[in-house]
Amino acid sequence: MATVINITDKHHLEQILQQANNVTNGPSIVVMDFYASWCRPCSDIAPVFQELSIKYKNMKFVKIDVDKLEDVAQRYNVRSLPTFIFLRGAEQIDRITGGVPQKLRDKVQELALSGSDSHESGSNKSPQSSKQYDMDILLSKNQCECLNEDDTHSLAQLLNSSENNNSKAYLLSDTDEQLIIYITFSQFVRIQSVQINGPKENAPKTVKLFVNQTSTPDFDSCEIGEAVQTLELTEEDIKHGGITQLNFVKFQNVSTLTIFVKNNQTSTDQTRIDTLKFYGYPVNTINMNEFKRVSGKKGEAHG
């Protein structure tokens, strides 16, 4: 589990920055929290900093006590507490001051989504566009579910495969080839493309997409309901790394996405998905919990 690193001296910090600079895909983001034990706002925001370190595992989060490491605070021109300084590798790219949790969350999220801009091979960037990103960090994974999944090869295992270092995880249907996958985002997002990869024998073929349903629908509703878009996945779409572009104008303010897998490539008994990703970007940085979920029109809940 990712944790906050308490810097003991300037050599310790240099070691951390060197590690961040030597990441294969390019320098990783380092978030430095300059604080003091006597600073009340520093103590108040500390749990938020810890929470972010767990959520954004590809970043490094470090804490620096200004009373113990005055030379480091001077080096980074820290004049008020708390101060958060953001680096890409060893290069400073931004800073914020004050103990405002949402301000800190927004900045970390912004850098997580755009961090791959500085290097072409960044893993968050979609091959098709420099403006669309892997929105894995915007999934509310504990609110996602799948109907007709095999218990030993579940949606949860697939969505959490990177966090659990399980590259062999995949989603498999149970009693027949159909699946209903209900995806919940933590914020309103714009979806530009999806990545649905699997074996050429039993990867999904006909896929219906619905948006902003308030709960997981049943199979009959998905069969007869009018989808926002229906995909016929080709061999190019389903192969490793294949990405399917969506009708972008229809996926502008999405809070939930329902994926109905109607059949698979060769009509075998079980459907398998090895990769499931969503590319796009958030509408804004406001947390979805501040809004009530509302029904829309075409492609939404069918009653």
* Final residue belonging to a domain, choices 84, 118, 152: 118
Active site residue 39: yes
Contact predicate 27/88, CB 8 Å? yes
Does some domain include residue 127? no
Same domain, 25 and 49: yes
Q: What are phi and psi of 247, to 5 degrees?
A: -75, 95
Task: Report pLDDT for 241.
Answer: 87
Q: How far is CA 135 from CA 11, 162, 184, 191, in A?
A: 35, 13, 11, 9
Does the structure show a pLDDT above 60 at 161?
A: yes
pLDDT averaged over every residue in the chain:
86
Task: Report pLDDT for 90.
Answer: 84
Q: Which residues lie below 8 Å from residue 102, measured CB to CB, with a gap of 6+?
A: 287
Catalytic residue among 39, 144, 146, 222: 39
Does some domain include residue 69? yes
* Final residue belonging to a domain, choices 92, 118, 144: 118
Q: Distance between CA 188 and CA 211 in Å, rounded?
A: 11
Closest CA to 21 of 83, 90, 86: 90
Same domain, 139 and 203: yes
Same domain, 53 and 90: yes
Q: Which residues pair with 183 in a beta bridge?
A: 257
Does the structure show a pLDDT above 60 at 252?
A: yes
Same domain, 144 and 284: yes
**CATH number of the structural domain spanning residue 67:** 3.40.30.10
Same domain, 113 and 89: yes
Give the least confident one: 6-10, 72-76, 120-124, 230-234.
120-124
Same domain, 80 and 162: no
Q: Distance between CA 280 and CA 168 in Å, rounded?
A: 25
Same domain, 105 and 191: no
Q: Which residues lie below 8 Å from residue 172, measured CB to CB, with a gap of 6+?
A: 149, 150, 152, 153, 270, 271, 272, 273
Does some domain include residue 297? no
Catalytic residue among 42, 144, 146, 222: 42
| 16-32 tens-digit pLDDT | 998 888 776 678 899 99
Does the structure show a pLDDT above 50 at 116?
A: no
Same domain, 169 and 45: no
* Final residue belonging to a domain, choices 91, 118, 145: 118
DSSP-assigned letters across all residues of 147-173: ETBBTTB-HHHHHTTTTTT-TT--EEB
What average pLDDT score do residues 201-221 get? Answer: 96
Same domain, 147 and 26: no
Same domain, 223 and 148: yes
**Residue 295 banded pLDDT, cuts 50, 70, 90:** very low
Task: Report pLDDT for 251.
Answer: 93
| 53-111 tens-digit pLDDT | 988 888 999 999 999 999 999 989 999 999 999 998 888 889 999 999 999 998 998 88
Same domain, 137 and 225: yes
Neighbours of 82 (CB within 10 A): 25
pLDDT-above-90 percentage for the chain: 65
Contact predicate 4/62, CB 8 Å? yes
What average pLDDT score do residues 138-150 get? Answer: 96
Task: Report pLDDT for 164.
Answer: 63
Does the structure show a pLDDT above 50 at 146?
A: yes
Contact predicate 190/129, CB 8 Å? no
Task: Report pLDDT for 300.
Answer: 44
Report for 74-88, 100-114, 257-271, 284-298: range of highest mean pLDDT: 257-271
Q: Distance between CA 44 and CA 58 in Å, rounded?
A: 24
Strands 145-147 and 179-197: antiparallel
3-state SS track over 47-82? HHHHHHHHHCCCCEEEEEECCCCHHHHHHCCCCCCC
Same domain, 148 and 285: yes
pTM over 0.75: no
Q: Which residues lie below 8 Å from residue 97, measured CB to CB, with a gap of 6+?
A: 80, 82, 83, 84
Does some domain include residue 171? yes
Does the structure show a pLDDT above 90 at 170?
A: yes
* Number of domains the chain is built from: 2
Sign of CA dihedral 192, 195, 201, 204: negative
**CATH number of the structural domain spanning residue 219:** 2.60.120.470
Does some domain include residue 303? no
Domain coverage including residue 203: 133-290
Does some domain include residue 123? no
Does some domain include residue 299? no
Does some domain include residue 16? yes
